[in-house]
Amino acid sequence: MIRDYHTAAPGRFRERRDERPRRSPKACFGRLAGLLLAAVLLVGAGLGAWEGYRRLVRMSYFRLAEIYVEGNFQVATDEVAHSLDLAPGTSLLEVDLADLSRRIMRNPWIKEASVSRRLPLALTIHIVERVPEAVFIADRRYLLSADGVILSELGSEDLPTLPTLRAAARRRVRPGDRILSSEMAQGLAVWRQFQLANAVQGERAHEIAMGGDGSYTVNLGQEMPRIRLRAQNMQEQLQRLGAALAASGRSLASFGDVDLRFRDRVIFRPLGGR
């Protein structure tokens, strides 16, 4: 008969397991002390490495000495460097490049900014500036960029050769505010299309005023009429104006107001309301 030792005689197996020698408390304490010593050595090595790194990055060899700025035309180089707000003696290895870029872009004139290290002593800043596209009139006059950011306030003596976009209602804004709404975007589009149109005999828009009903009024300046139109199908409206002027045999300057909002007609108001 074939018999399994462990199945047939489990008691003997237990007896052998019970016969294993037990470790003494002194041996267990020694092993625990060894583990603690190893942990202390690892922590000490980590602290030593950290202290070594701190001393390395704070060496005078890596102290920031120069800042190079590229791509700036509107914003002065000193102004860009000052916006970094770095303490004297700052190490080039300690600075957070992404944070420096965010500080630079607090200036509304700066649309994009990237900062890189030029070891061992310099930072290089590359910026992309916003360009003023219109004068925006709200509570005061402001320069407005193409992406709808208020760049700066204009004084009464400043007369830039830019179109004027007038808000439908008086409102308060400040430099840095992004105010581009669908109405303003359309207003800027109206100005661009108006400049490209040939139906107004070379006249250039002086002011675009947003109306409460979604229409726009184009002011051509002194001794010229105001033209009221819709943002949609503007080329068609201006072509209709050109055809109406040709049929009347009169110049645009002989009218006070022109209304192009209607699909089937052009409404002229003579000078003086007659």
C-alpha to C-alpha distance for 272 and 274, rounded to whole angstroms: 6
**What is the DSSP secondary structure assignment for residue 191, as one 8-state letter?**
H
Q: What was the pLDDT predicted at 103?
A: 95
Q: Crossing angle for the helix pair 234-248 and 182-196, nearest 10 degrees?
A: 40
Q: How many CB atoms lie within 10 A of CB 127?
A: 23
> For the residues 4-28, what does the mean pLDDT come to?
54
Q: Which of 49-58, 135-144, 220-229 has the highest mean pLDDT?
A: 135-144
- The dihedrals phi and psi of 101, each to the nearest 5 degrees, come to -60, -40
Question: Does residue 46 or residue 151 have the better pLDDT?
Answer: 151
Query: What's CA 274's distance to the chain center, in Å?
Result: 51
DSSP codes, 223-243: TS-EEEEESTTHHHHHHHHHH
pLDDT of 20 strictly over 60: no
Q: What was the pLDDT predicted at 114?
A: 95
Q: Return the CATH class of domain 132-273.
A: alpha beta
With CA atoms as reference, report the closest residue to 79 among 71, 69, 89, 88: 69
Question: Does residue 5 or residue 242 have the better pLDDT?
Answer: 242
The mean predicted confidence, pLDDT, of the chain is: 77
**Predicted confidence (pLDDT) per residue in 234-270, tens digit:** 778 888 888 888 888 888 888 888 898 888 888 888 8
Tokens of 159: 């007369």
Strands lying side by side in the sheet with 122-129: 66-70, 122-129, 110-118
Q: What was the pLDDT predicted at 109?
A: 95
| CATH 3.10.20.310 residue spans of the chain | 60-129
pTM over 0.75: no
The CATH code of the domain at 60-129 is 3.10.20.310
- Label residue 212 left, alpha or beta by phi (over 0 means left) and psi (-120 to 50 means alpha): alpha
Q: Rg (Cα) of the chain, in Å, rounded? A: 38
| CATH 3.40.50.11690 residue spans of the chain | 132-273
C-alpha to C-alpha distance for 230 and 146, rounded to whole angstroms: 20
**Predicted confidence (pLDDT) per residue in 69-123, tens digit:** 999 999 999 999 999 998 888 888 888 999 999 999 999 999 999 999 888 788 9
- Label residue 272 left, alpha or beta by phi (over 0 means left) and psi (-120 to 50 means alpha): left
pLDDT of 144 strictly over 60: yes
C-alpha to C-alpha distance for 225 and 161, rounded to whole angstroms: 20
E strands, 172-214, are 207-210
The model's confidence at residue 199, banded by pLDDT at 50, 70 and 90, is: very low
